[in-house]
Amino acid sequence: MRHWIMGAALAVLATGAATAQEDYAAWPPLLPVFESTGGGGIMIGEYEPVVIGDHCLTRFTATTPEGTVYRNIVLFDAVPAQGGILCTNGAWRALDGDGDGTTPFRVFIRDGVRRRAP
């Protein structure tokens, strides 16, 4: 009897975990210009990730409130998910070699539509 109760409890937990999974198709569309996840008024532009093998890649601009434009590139892991590709675990670098880092930003691509994490 205890095994049955334990099995039922695990089934309920598994169902709850499956229900709690993010619905990437419900994310808002990735707009051509958006505020950086790092804040500070930095605006990101030209962000058009494409899937190449097991990676997503895009060049992009980061524009400061004063108007200085920095050109960068970001490489993500491309993970199959929900009938599309989740671009996650991003690492960026400045094209002039002046900086690099990681980003929590995620993009979901399915049927040619790019969506960004809320």
Domains in the chain: boundaries: 27-116
pTM, two decimals, is 0.81
Structure tokens given for 27: 């994310």
Residue in the structure block whose two tokens are 């998910």: 81
The predicted-structure confidence for 33-83, as pLDDT tens digits, reads as follows: 999 988 999 999 999 999 999 999 999 999 999 999 999 999 999 999 999
Residue in the structure block whose two tokens are 């049955």: 4
Structure tokens given for 98: 């002046």
- The residues with which 88 forms a beta bridge, in sequence order, are 77
The answer, yes or no, to whether residue 5 has pLDDT greater than 60, is no
Asked if residues 107 and 89 have their Cβ atoms less than 8 Å apart, the reply is no
C-beta neighbour count of 67 within 10 angstroms = 6
